[in-house]
A and B are shown apart, each in its own frame.
Chain A
Amino acid sequence: MKKFLITFLAWVMVGKIWGQDLNLLSSKVDAVLQKQYSSTNIKPLAKIDDETFLRRAYLTIIGRNPTLEEYNSFSSVEAENKRSELIKFLLKHPGHVSHIYNFWADALRLRERLAPINNFNGAPYIQYIKSNIAANKPYDKFVSDLLLSQGSYFDNPATGYYYRDFGMPLDNLIATSKVFLGTDISCAQCHDDPFQDFTQMQFYRMAAVFNQIDLRKESTEFREAYKNLRNEVDARIKADPEKNRGLNNRINNFVRATQSDLNLALNKQLKLPHDYQYKDAKPNDVVVPATLDGKAVKNSNDLRQSAIEWMLDPSHPSFTKNIVNRYWGFIFGKYIIEEFDNIHSSSLLNSELMNILANIFIELKYDSRQFLFVLLNTELFQRQMYEGAYANSENFIFIGPVKKRLSAEQLWDSVISLTINRPESFQTTFHKQYSENMKVSVSDLNVETLEARLKTNNDILRSKYEAAKRIKGLSLVRASEINDLNQMNTILGQLGRSDRELIQTSSLDGSVTQVISFMNGQMAELAINKETQLFSDLNGKSPTDKIEIIFKSVLARKPTMQEKATFAGLGDDDIVWALLNSSEFKFLK
């Protein structure tokens, strides 16, 4: 508690840490909204109290409830600007990296089993994304570093962006367009899109830009050594088929995975599909590379370079607005343009709000953390939540953030923060060791060395949660650390986490299995357990204090008089259970 308080106070005193006057930018955003309120005669919702603000800020910025200790620290601070200081503090909290990682994991479909056909682990790529977030890399650079990545996956895990869609370059292109341009070109893969302006030809010309990418590189030297290795494997199997069961597949898969090296094949040509049906070309014609707007790309060593320049040009209609819309939805519970992966054709694309946000982000040189601060520091973020239904985005006015269920990760992480005091203390770190172990040179191509490497891999992966605390076999780690198929991932799936097959498919829907998990399954078992931080905080306290502690820990607020009366005389377990299952816990307030 002391440590937190000191860090927090240090923040309060440092005050304006960022050079720009970000407050001014927040008021600019509020001013646009104010205009909408006045012109429509709709009143914005009232401001929220400190307690509500605290929980909302924690959940929105670092993705979990505040712990009891954090609740108490914030309550004890008396400074006029303590809300904006809390925002700054949380933006630099390790939990913020976790939370933003979850945002990207859903969009980029990040998981350890990276692509079905590949046999290597996604952890280095996952770690790459996390460290980009931690370093607050400017967003434009973040995108171009991914799209221009080259070299061995184990040296430059940014190439994971392409390995994620190994063997499916067209799907990868559709993903790039959806995630970074907010433009859905998937229809144009097979036919001209009647709802948009894209033709199948445009799609294929853009695809030709990325067609140079070659994901396997094998030197002649390697091929030679590989031949010898094959002979060695065959001889072993012949000598003792029983003992060497599966050796062939094992060695093959491993060696192929180690040769993951993204390079550019300059002469590779892309052809139109065999059933191309339009008059501007014949089936199987070679495609001339061009960006989506139809401009042929420069003849260079890396055609991607021209595509990136086109995307990052300030005049691009949706590159900046795409991310601005996504961040807005992430903070305020509803996107400005609801069809977030297809903002391209929305009538709101050039609305005043979208324009001003895009300008601010550009002015901040794509500094994501400062931009998020601007949004979080608005009056809007401090208003009560809009609870009603809305028909469509066009007429929607943000009189408050929009009520939303917590995401799967927020639910999990909030329960974890009841069990341990510092939920961020555990971070997976095996990616480094793993990458080193996957670097195989020609001289390593013999069965003995490779079997030893395989064993090391298994050991690394098996022990990845060893340092974490556990309750009932579940590791008490944040959701951002869970990226493979295990028990924790199954629970997260029940809570609505995406399986990361497709872009942003996490869900806030309920389900019977999800509710069972909270009422009678693992979520309840985690929270109601004598080994948790919560129950150790309750130890030796009076019945009234206990009710207070449980309310502060689970809901980050004090109980009302009426609630105190309702809960008097009930067991700790029952109170925790009831609050855990309440809609107040499941929804942002």
Chain B
Amino acid sequence: MKTQLNRRDFVLNLASLGLGVSVLPSFGNIPTDNRAEHIIYLFMNGGMSHLDTFDPKTNTEVKGIFNSIPNSVGVQICEHLPNLAKHGDKMAIVRSMMVTTGAHEQAQYLQRTSFKKIGTIVHPNLGAWMCNFQDRGEKISIPQNVLISGPADHPGAGWMPKKYAPIPIADPLRGLDNSVIKNKEEFSKRVSILQRLEQDANKSINPSIKSYSEFYDQTVRLLNSSELDVFDLTKESAAVREKYGNNRFGQGCCLAKRLIEKGGCKFIEVQDGGWDTHVNNFETLENKLNILDNAVSALIEDLQASGLLKKTLIVIATDFGRTPNVNVNDGRDHHPGAFSGVLIGAGIKGGQAYGKSDEKGMKAVEGVMSPSDFNATIAAAAGLPLDQILVSPEGRPFKIADKGEPVKQLLA
């Protein structure tokens, strides 16, 4: 009897041939030695005001109360980012971002995944794509995709296997929850009893038991590992930690640095909340910009000192911008028409401001970029194959940045 291939078998067969449908993956235009091997993705949750950060305006109707200063290459940024201003040469500011939604949930999802949020599938975040593409099948103890202070509805690995999902660090000061073994002797005794008990199970031919015991192996490796302290911020000197700022975001950035330096992690997202400044925009931002300025400049400086900035791309992303007109509560409201994003370090041509919003910051008018374009540029900077199609278990084909196009001028 002739059996018919169903849709799932069809795509799985294709997938098994080479993980994807496209046969000629393109790796962007980045020379190998310049590619970002690590990405630190800083997400400003709530919608970061572009006018009060990286796209200051002189028009008095919209300017607000902050003044601007030139950064080291003469690009104007907000006066409350004086330390970041020193690193203008490593930094590409994108001033022409645009989305079509003014709702947080949808916009954040779009930023993180390049896809519109729909009810029938969850798309993976950039980190899951990166880990999936770079999976060499080796046994690792330190998880490669990490999410620090992330939200509960983070898309994670989406439709991809769970092993690519970010490991959540709820609080950078606590590190990896429950990873400290109080009684090492007792723990290793227990593990050895377990191993004796599991001798039969290890011989099991069952694929799910096998893959489950691999997680046990990885976890035991991790819990016993000397590397476990990559999650432990107290191992950083007080002076280093202080530079990043004594606050959750600053410490999250410090942990991100540590995870790259000591753990070799590929993708680390650090989220910072509180950017939804409908009320008292300026008062709130003065404080937030100070935090951002200290944390990110400390990150740049430390990574540069260790030589890792050559291999690490730092991204500042957000939901959308904020209204140029200041509202009655001295706040700014959601504004999807124009906003800014920042790319710093490996794979990026620094020392520039790319694209433009109009005189009042209402609309992106030159070099307009969607979140997918922004993500395509990030992916290109990391040398990830933009054209390679991966197929979800339902048989739907996807590319890392959907229809996004990388912007050449931003790439090194």
Contact = CB atoms under 8 A, between A and B. Distances in A.
Interface of A: 116, 165, 168, 171-172, 174-175, 184, 186, 195-196, 338-339, 342, 345-347, 387-389, 392, 394, 403-405, 485, 496, 499, 501-503, 505, 507-517, 519-522, 563, 566-567, 570, 574-575, 577-579, 581-584, 586-587
B7 A345 contact: yes
Contacts of A512: 143, 167, 215, 218-219, 222
A510 B197 contact: no
Interface in B150-206: 152-153, 161-163, 165, 167-168, 176-181, 186-187, 189-190, 193-194, 196-198, 201, 204-206
Contacts of A514: 215
B153 A168 contact: no
B247 interface: no
A184 B206 contact: no
Interface of B: 3-4, 6-9, 105, 118-122, 143, 152-153, 161-163, 165, 167-168, 176-181, 186-187, 189-190, 193-194, 196-198, 201, 204-209, 211-216, 218-220, 222-223, 394-395
25 contacts: A116-B105, A168-B119, A342-B8, A347-B3, A347-B6, A387-B205, A387-B206, A387-B209, A388-B205, A389-B207, A403-B208, A403-B209, A501-B122, A501-B153, A509-B211, A510-B214, A515-B215, A516-B219, A519-B187, A520-B179, A521-B178, A566-B197, A567-B193, A574-B190, A581-B194
Given A346-B6, A502-B122, A509-B163, A520 B206 contact: no
A517 B219 CA distance: 10
Contacts of B178: 516-517, 520-522
A583 B177 contact: no
Contacts of A575: 193
A174 B161 CA distance: 24
Contacts of B222: 512
B208 A566 contact: no
A577 B394 CA distance: 38
A505 B3 CA distance: 29
A520 B214 CA distance: 17
Contacts of B201: 582-584
Contacts of A515: 215-216, 218-219
A516 B122 contact: no
B204 A387 contact: yes
Contacts, number: 147
Contacts of A503: 120
Contacts of B162: 496, 507, 509-511
A520 B189 contact: no
Nearest to A563: B197
Contacts of A519: 187, 219-220, 223
B119 A347 contact: no
B208 A508 contact: yes
Contact of B198 (A196, A496, A583): A583
Contact of A175 (B119, B204, B214, B220): B119
B333 to A, nearest CB: 14
Contacts of B6: 339, 345-347
B204 A583 contact: yes
Contact of B168 (A502, A513, A563): A513
Nearest to A496: B162
B303 to A, nearest CB: 26
Contacts of B193: 566-567, 570, 574-575, 578
A527 to B, nearest CB: 13
Contact of B197 (A195, A346, A404, A582): A582
A577 B190 CA distance: 7
B119 A165 contact: yes
B190 A485 contact: no
Given A574-B190, A577-B190, A499 B197 contact: no
A264 to B, nearest CB: 23
A577 B205 CA distance: 25
A388 B153 CA distance: 35
A175 B120 CA distance: 8
Contact of B208 (A186, A405, A563): A405
A339 B215 contact: no
B206 A388 contact: yes
A420 B196 CA distance: 29
B16 to A, nearest CB: 11
A584 B232 CA distance: 34
Given A387-B204, A405-B209, A510-B211, 5 more contacts: A404-B208, A502-B119, A507-B162, A516-B176, A582-B194
Nearest to A389: B207
A521 B197 contact: no
A581 B208 CA distance: 15
Contacts of A517: 178
A172 B119 CA distance: 8
Contacts of B118: 171
Nearest to B179: A516
Contacts of A186: 120
A347 B2 CA distance: 11
Nearest to A404: B208
A516 B212 contact: no
B206 A339 contact: no
A262 B378 CA distance: 46
A517 B167 CA distance: 13
Contacts of B218: 512, 515
Residue among A168, A405, A512, A587 with the highest chain B CB neighbour number at 10 A: A512
A556 B211 CA distance: 25
Contacts of B190: 574, 577-578, 581
A514 B179 CA distance: 12
Given A388-B206, A485-B152, A512-B143, A521 B177 contact: yes
A171 B204 contact: no
B120 A516 contact: no
A566 B199 CA distance: 13
A569 B158 CA distance: 47
A184 B393 CA distance: 13
A513 B177 contact: yes
A420 to B, nearest CB: 23
A513 B170 CA distance: 12
B211 to A, nearest CB: 7
Given A389-B207, A582-B194, A574 B215 contact: no
A162 to B, nearest CB: 13
> 8 closest pairs, A vs B, by CB?
A171-B119, A510-B215, A521-B178, A515-B219, A583-B201, A509-B162, A195-B7, A387-B206
A586 B219 contact: no
A389 B210 CA distance: 11
Contacts of A563: 197
A517 B178 CA distance: 7
Contacts of B119: 165, 168, 171-172, 174-175, 502
A347 B186 CA distance: 54
A581 B216 CA distance: 9
B122 A511 contact: no
Residue among A389, A578, A583, A586 with the highest chain B CB neighbour number at 10 A: A583
B106 to A, nearest CB: 10
A566 B196 contact: yes
B408 to A, nearest CB: 30
